[in-house]
Amino acid sequence: MSDRWDPAAFKTRVDEAVRRFVAEEADRLAEIDPLLAPVAGQLEAAVADGKRLRAAFCYWGWRAVGQPDSEALVRAAASMELVHAAAVVHDDLIDDSPLRHGRPTAHTALRGAVRGRPRADAAARSLAMLVGDLLMALAGQLFTTSGLPAAYLARARPLWSVMARELIAGECLEILRTGTGPDTATSLKVIRYKTAKYTVEQPLLIGGALAGAGERLREGYSAYGLPLGEAFQLRDDLLGLFGTPQTTGKAAADDVRGNRPTALLAETWRLAGEADRERLRALLGRRSPDAAALDEVRAVMRRLKAPDRIEDMIDARVGQALDALHALDVPAHAGSALTALARSATHRLS
């Protein structure tokens, strides 16, 4: 691979590494008993799609140190996508989301495997939980069998427990904060731990650790990665309500139905007067909000200019990330790639 950043070519390499590895593991699982075929199928479905941003940040965390391209590194970086797949399966289960990438989520799809049995819905959810658990275990396996030298892997392995702890902390905070009083600072803390760290910062730090990055570069990775990861999730929050399900591949009602602690909802609440807050209380948290309810929530947000406020927060964080990047002494091709990644991660339609 040349030093010129080619996102499509890199995605193809990661897709191939992830899908081949998971297909082999799914086959081994299905060989145990034919009943496991639907579960094995969901392992493969979980990694079928994705932007591969986490792998890209890990890759450039390595390259920015001055290390060359290698297939072993791509395999190690691809393990970040299995962490993401595991998090998505668990997140969809927690939120009871019906769609992901335009397809039924794991716990929804697995209902067919237990149809007609006692407590079928609970059984399907349990199967999905185990799919997510296995994906996380497989992420570690792909990382350690990537082909990189053992000494390199040893430098990075401690960061995996940090990544897992922070990701789980974020998920737990979202559950504990859901339905409580909206607060922007609290919402930003949730997204920092639930998404920002494992999407940008930790992949960069892991790539850097593999390559032997020094302390100053690692600090720069965090200064770039944390605001950029927050901007990524803020964009997701906007797309979750104002994007089209045909483009995002997700249900538009999830955040409203769950009354989740998003910064978008928190900013709306902060800007709202008592009449708007009273109406929001009636609309948020409905089990099955209809199109009219969603349109009304969107109308309130637009009138209060809450989406504009989130756009400002995104722009500020991207600017902060790029300022931190430009202060680092990294090869020109790495700086260009990380600049392009900052743009593509935060200015997107899905």
pLDDT tens figures, 165-183: 999 999 999 999 987 889 9
What local confidence, expressed as pLDDT, does residue 248 receive? 74
Confidence of residue 350 (pLDDT cuts 50, 70, 90): confident
Question: What average pLDDT score do residues 69-75 get?
Answer: 97
Confidence of residue 163 (pLDDT cuts 50, 70, 90): very high
What local confidence, expressed as pLDDT, does residue 252 receive? 65
What local confidence, expressed as pLDDT, does residue 111 receive? 96
37-51, 285-299, 319-333: least confident range: 285-299
Q: Does residue 249 or residue 145 have the better pLDDT?
A: 145
Cβ 131 vs Cβ 144: under 8 Å: no
With CA atoms as reference, report the closest residue to 201 among 174, 176, 181, 219.
Answer: 219
With CA atoms as reference, report the closest residue to 192 among 336, 33, 12, 313.
Answer: 313
Total count of domains within the chain:
1
Q: What is the CATH number of the domain that holds 341?
A: 1.10.600.10
pLDDT in tens, 19-35: 999 999 999 999 999 99
Q: What type of residue sits at position 292?
A: A
Residue 249 has pLDDT above 80, yes or no: no
Residues 6+ apart with CB under 8 A from 334: 60, 63, 64
What local confidence, expressed as pLDDT, does residue 51 receive? 95
What local confidence, expressed as pLDDT, does residue 251 receive? 67
Beta strands 103-104 and 99-100: pairing type? antiparallel
Domain extent for 13: 7-346
On whether residue 2 sits in a domain, the answer given is no
On whether residue 1 sits in a domain, the answer given is no
On whether residue 22 sits in a domain, the answer given is yes
What local confidence, expressed as pLDDT, does residue 298 receive? 94
On whether residue 249 sits in a domain, the answer given is yes
Question: What average pLDDT score do residues 49-55 get?
Answer: 96
On whether residue 182 sits in a domain, the answer given is yes
| 3-state SS class at 2 | coil
Residue 325 has pLDDT above 80, yes or no: yes
Q: What type of residue sits at position 260?
A: R
Quote the mean pLDDT of the chain: 94
Helices and strands, number each (H, E), in the chain: 18, 2
Q: Global pTM? A: 0.94
Tell me the chain's radius of gyration from C-alpha atoms: 20
Gap between the Cα atoms of 170 and 186, Å rounded: 11
Residue 64: DSSP 8-state: T
